[in-house]
Structure 1
Amino acid sequence: MLKSPRKATMQITRWVSDLDWRLLLLIIPSLSVIVFFSLSSTSIDSSSSLRYFIFNHTFPSFNSYDVVNSPPSGVQNRSKSAVAQRKDELLRSRMAVCLVGGARRFELTGPSIVENVLQVYPNADLFLHSPMDKNAYKFSLLKLAPRLASVRIFKPKPLNETQSQVRVLTASNSPNGIQGLLQYFNLVEGCLQMIEAYQKRKKFTYDWIVRTRVDGYWNAPLGPVNFIPGRYLVPPGSDYGGINDRLGIGDLNTSRVALARLSLIPKLDTAGFQQLNSETAFKAQLTTQRVPYVRKRVPFCIVTDRRYAFPPYRYGVPVAALSSPGPLSGAKCRPCTAACQGQCVAAVMRSLNKGWSWTDWENGSLALCNARGEWERGWEKIFDNVGGNRFASVRKRFAELKKKECIDDFNAMKKRVFSWEAPPPEDICALGLGA
């Protein structure tokens, strides 16, 4: 006897449902066995594909706020062990930290560089290359650096602009035109020259060079996964059509190319490049010299006094609140009461050109300042709350620093440094603190 269509349909549905459960009961134990043996047999050797995946995909910089979904505890423990091993390798290596730029707000950024870069890698030799100005006295706080190799504080003067430089570079979007780019490139390559001279005198070579800026504020340590042999590491975002040049980490070979900002311009000219800004010139340097680069989020931002339209749109510049958890990867920032958070940030960032001044913003990692005007009244308290007691105490000390204290600190530095190419401490301190 034929069943009604309705009864037939119900029977088929029950049969399929029973089949689904039977299949699940067969599949789940099998999958469990596969996962168990996969995890048990995985090695943490540097050539392991799991270790490569963890280093390059799961944890971009091994800071707590980088992890969106926590991995299983077994994988997490293995990754921590691998990171510890890598950190030990780096602590046994020879490392140089190249610090460039004007002192500006160094009383705010300097302590974060000391704590989250220099003290994380106390084996690193510090090289400072900076112009002499009224803020240079703030470099006296580098007496806290574990190791001082070379200090060059020079009186800036205009640089000759060659025909190849005029063809290759553009004055657009540079506050001081082509001359501003040349001065910046000179700071970077000059630091490389200081490192090369030190190597020659000491008869050794560095394994790693970290190039960072004086105006960078670090809100977390520089992780060991950012040191990748044979590749030059740069932050994502703030690309301006090229690649972000606000931080670079590489071995000696890749760093020699990346830091040769001036001497490679003739080669870019020969290759036919024209009208490049700093970021596009940087990308051309690496690609023409066949230096592979990798982007990783890094926990620092560039403290700026410049004013920007708010809210930013398309080719605008977002200015992050210093309190943003990040990693901000070199985005512009300042201490402020956040004017844009949550859905407001999503709307603003989606309106920006991702190849220009865009920065990562997902998962509440970014809050924005209204940077149309000067820093808001009471920014000091905002900074102190963000930086904590140690950074706040340095800020307060420099707000009341006396000339004699400044001179004493520089003299303490001079006793430890291998090469001192700078005006006398009395002159540096007098320029910023008065005669």
Structure 2
Amino acid sequence: MKQGRGFRHHLAAAFTGFVDLRSVLALLPPCVLFLTFLTLSSSSSDSPLAGILRPSSSDGLPAAGITNGSRIAICLVGGSRRFELTGPSLVRHLLGEYREADVFLHSPLDGDAYKLSLLKEVAPRISAARIFSPWALPVTAAHKLVLTATGSPNGIQGLLQYFNLVEGCLRMIKKHESRRNFTYGWIIRTRLDGYWSATLGPEAFRRGVYVVPAGSRYGGLNDRLGVGDRATSEVALSRLSLLPRLDRAGLRLLNSESAFRAQLARSRVAWREVRAPFCVVSDRRYRFPPVANGVPVAAMGSPGPLSGAKCRPCQPACAGSCAAKVAKGLDPRWSWTEWRNDSLRLCDASHGWAEGWERVFDRVAGAEAAAKRRKMARLDVATCAEDFKVMREKAARWESPPAKEICRLGLLRRPANSTTKFA
């Protein structure tokens, strides 16, 4: 992933401003420095220090003190590529941890959608599901100014599709709230291609603060997971509808992460970065070893937490002092991932998945997840369609093509190691 020339200029200017300002503050007397700090703390969220000050400005309480009695919505979005690997971990560590939470599913119809049948065991908790055939979204002149296609596999259209998936889930939640005449206290939004190694900690729940994973910022904020109360989630999930505000502010050449940071800042929503126990399973190839603005791909068995970094099941090609050396060379404003205490082990992602990755996954994920992976590999159209039928009948609201269409699309044309190329 590379930055556009204009985007690099904006980042360099902001960072230079921060360095210069820090040098000046170092020369001021303590009393003046304190007054200056107070002034900066209350200034515009677009100031060079905003990203440093805002994450620490949380007045919230740990989850144990605020989630009891509050309704939680869990929003699952994105393509279902490798869901045979990620699905069981998501069900166990996220949906299993918040058993009273309502589930909302928003996913495109593609050759991997049949894998969503793994959600059958949580079907009674699905408040709304929408599996839809994607269509091209209009790309306006403002979109071309605000967004950059650099780093997006499907260009600006790919970004808009991803934003539509996220905001579409918010629309589903709002419709459900309106029908049932209540409001959720919390919304957890995550991706279907995330592999979870543990549960979220209480530090992820802060009232008045939107919580995102640390690292993998790509010049903005990591947007692969978000946890917020109802008010902050309203802003954070409005990925499409807030683009005109960014255009009016004169912001240009933003990728997904920098656009996400800008929409929170412009809406004066504070954020906090925490380490989260999940990674995004990726089939993309990246230069190895990564340097500067390169993309590290973690071994799925890394101790972590990996905070949404790219990962895959592999025998680590670089660990210990090797991983530390690589990580120290990565730009912390870009693709940096926590590496201390031997928490990060790296794959060589310059090629496809190595032969025998299944054995690596089974060892890392455990016997239960391994059994589900093997069961998915043997799935036939009839069983798949029956699983979707059960989900449709038990879910509160279900919108999708016929079950057999979903199953046939993937199972009758399933090549070895099939994946989706979506956003």
The TM-score bracket by the shorter chain reads 0.7 to 0.9
Distance in 2 between residues matched to 1:215 and 1:410, nearest whole Å: 20
162, 182, 185: which one aligns with 2:163 = 185
1:73 corresponding residue in structure 2: none
* Conserved 8 A contact 2:203-2:274: no
Tell me the SS of whatever aligns to 2:388: helix
1:100 corresponding residue in structure 2: 77
Distance in 2 between residues matched to 1:201 and 1:88, nearest whole Å: 28
Give runs of ≥4 in structure 1 deviating > 3 Å.
86-89
The Cα of 1:138 is off from its aligned counterpart by 0.4
Amino acid at match of 2:182: F
1:399 corresponding residue in structure 2: 377
Deviates more, 1:232-241 or 1:88-97: 88-97
* Conserved 8 A contact 1:312-1:348: yes
Distance in 2 between residues matched to 1:390 and 1:91, nearest whole Å: 30
Distance in 1 between residues matched to 2:381 and 2:347, nearest whole Å: 34
Q: Say if 2:410 is the partner of 1:410.
A: no
Name structure 2 gaps, 5 residues minimum.
1-54, 414-423
1:254 corresponding residue in structure 2: 232
Distance in 1 between residues matched to 2:385 and 2:133, nearest whole Å: 19
Amino acid at match of 1:124: A
Amino acid at match of 1:337: Q
The Cα of 1:144 is off from its aligned counterpart by 1.7
Distance in 2 between residues matched to 1:271 and 1:244, nearest whole Å: 22
List per-residue Cα deviations over 1:86-141 (Å, max 9, x = no partner). 44752532010011110110010011111000010011111110110011000011
Rg (Cα) greater in structure: 1
TM-score normalised over the length of structure 2 = 0.82
322, 325, 331: which one aligns with 1:347 = 325
Q: Say if 2:92 is the partner of 1:115.
A: yes
Matches within 5 A, 1:61-80: none
Amino acid at match of 1:254: T
The Cα of 1:165 is off from its aligned counterpart by 1.1
Q: Say if 2:313 is the partner of 1:335.
A: yes
TM-score normalised over the length of structure 1 = 0.80
2:103 corresponding residue in structure 1: 126
The Cα of 1:222 is off from its aligned counterpart by 1.5
Q: What is the aligned residue count?
A: 354
Distance in 1 between residues matched to 2:65 and 2:199, nearest whole Å: 15
Tell me the SS of whatever aligns to 1:295: strand
Q: Say if 2:408 is the partner of 1:430.
A: yes
Kindly, what percent of the aligned residue pairs are identical? 57
Distance in 2 between residues matched to 1:112 and 1:92, nearest whole Å: 26
List per-residue Cα deviations over 1:172-200 (Å, max 9, x = no partner). 11111111100000000001001001100
List per-residue Cα deviations over 1:321-342 (Å, max 9, x = no partner). 0000100000000000000000
Distance in 1 between residues matched to 2:64 and 2:358, nearest whole Å: 35
Name structure 1 gaps, 5 residues minimum.
1-55, 58-81
Tell me the SS of whatever aligns to 1:294: strand
Distance in 2 between residues matched to 1:211 and 1:298, nearest whole Å: 13
1:269 corresponding residue in structure 2: 247
Q: Say if 2:248 is the partner of 1:243.
A: no
